Amino acid sequence: GSELKQKVCFSMANMIDVDKSPLRNMDTIYCQNVLIYFRKELKHNILNSLVERLAPKGLLVIGQGEAVDWQNPHVERVQNNQTLAFIRRN
């Protein structure tokens, strides 16, 4: 109930300007079913900005197939065929 609400932050942000978001050190970011609307370069820029907002060991979850060719040196892919997720390195 209320204990969980205190630990969860729901935020709206313009995906194109996510680098201007004040949110930092997030444990988990879900960004699903939105990246398909952006071109490859912008999609990669958005993902890189989201990685910058993750805390060490934070989890970024994106939609299956939304960015299969994206890589970032600060994250490693979670080995799971049912989801496309990345963990922030230290």
What does the pLDDT profile of the chain (90 residues) look like in tens digits? Answer: 788 878 787 777 888 898 888 889 999 999 988 999 999 999 999 999 999 999 999 999 999 888 878 999 999 999 998 889 999 998
Does residue 65 sit in helix, strand or coil?
Answer: coil
Q: Write down the residue that tokens 């204990």 correspond to.
A: 3
| Domain extent at residue 30 | 11-88
In a domain, 25, yes or no: yes
Q: How many domains does the chain have?
A: 1
Query: What is the rounded distance in angstroms from the CA atom of residue 3 to the CA atom of residue 81?
Result: 32
| pTM summary value | 0.88
CATH number at residue 53: 3.40.50.150
Q: Are the beta carbons of 54 and 60 closer than 8 angstroms?
A: yes
